[in-house]
Chain A
Amino acid sequence: MKTLPHKAPQIEQYLLQQMNPEERLLFEAQMVLHPDLAEQTQWQQHTYHLVRQYGRQQLRAELEQVHHTLFTHSKYQRFQQKILQFFSK
């Protein structure tokens, strides 16, 4: 059977717990009847996971930038001295 390309919104409602109990039951029955829907659902779940990993990676990069700013700009010199004194012993 051909894959169902426009199911993303419905799969999302299922995965993000936005369905009522009847809708959930119906969706789960559909997955049993259509293994490709079950497979798409699994991959979509994986996609949210990838987006979260990507979000964290990007956030880490932003934090590195903030760290760099705080430890290089003269505006933050007092902060720098305060931190560095802890590690100078």
Chain B
Amino acid sequence: MRHTTLFNPAAQQREALFIQLYQQAFPWVAKYISQRGGTLEEAKDVFHDALIIYYERVVVGGMVPERGDQAYLLGIAKYRWIRQYQQQAHQQELKSDEEGWDLLDETTSTPSSEKVLRFLSVAGRKCMDLLRAFYYDQQGLPEIAKVFGFSGVRSATVQKYKCLEKVRDTAKEKSLTYEDFAA
């Protein structure tokens, strides 16, 4: 399997898209957060949260933001900033999370699953990249086959399942080991 960073059109498209969205929406986010005493670093953090949600919902999920990309990104960034950095009093201004923008704060991430992930990011990187392309980025199999250097869709599918099983078995084995150490 070739490494993905050689030539990955999807990664290049993402970069171009993010640069464009940054130029369109980040000035609004930066202005909003600076006016409320926030720092550039904080503005960056909440903007990145917003872009991740945008990527999952709009780019991959196919949702169309009602009031446009810029308003959507600013809306999430405001929400995330109030949630993370503001005092309790301001939190009451927040509606309940009807848009699902709290999704980045998943509580299911345990210390042992973070350790497993760190292990897999190194030892199982190629498989993780392949699985990411398929499940997270939801790229088509023909494109995945091309980028990862498979002969076709069929062999990409076979490899995908091999990777899934490998990661599953590693996760199981490592989680149990880490839990043993923690106990």
Contact = CB atoms under 8 A, between A and B. Distances in A.
Nearest to B22: A70
Interface string B25-50: 01100110011000110001000100
A85 B110 CA distance: 40
Contact of A54 (B26, B121, B165, B172): B121
Interface stretch (B69-77, B80-88, B112-120): B112-120
Per DSSP, chain B at the interface is helix
A55 to B, nearest CB: 3
Residue picked from B48, B104, B175, most chain A C-beta under 10 Å = B48
Per DSSP, chain A at the interface is helix
Nearest to A7: B165
B22 A8 contact: no
A54 B117 contact: yes
Contacts, number: 104
Given A47-B171, A55-B136, A82-B27, A9 B161 contact: yes
B165 A8 contact: yes
Contacts of B116: 50
A47 B167 contact: yes
Contacts of A63: 18, 48, 51-52
A62 B132 contact: no
Nearest to A41: B168
Given A51-B131, A52-B135, 14 more contacts: A5-B165, A50-B113, A50-B116, A51-B128, A52-B136, A54-B136, A55-B137, A63-B52, A66-B18, A66-B22, A83-B26, A83-B27, A83-B30, A87-B39
Sorted from nearest, which 7 A-B pairs have the closest CB atoms? A55-B136, A86-B34, A47-B168, A66-B18, A55-B132, A51-B131, A63-B48
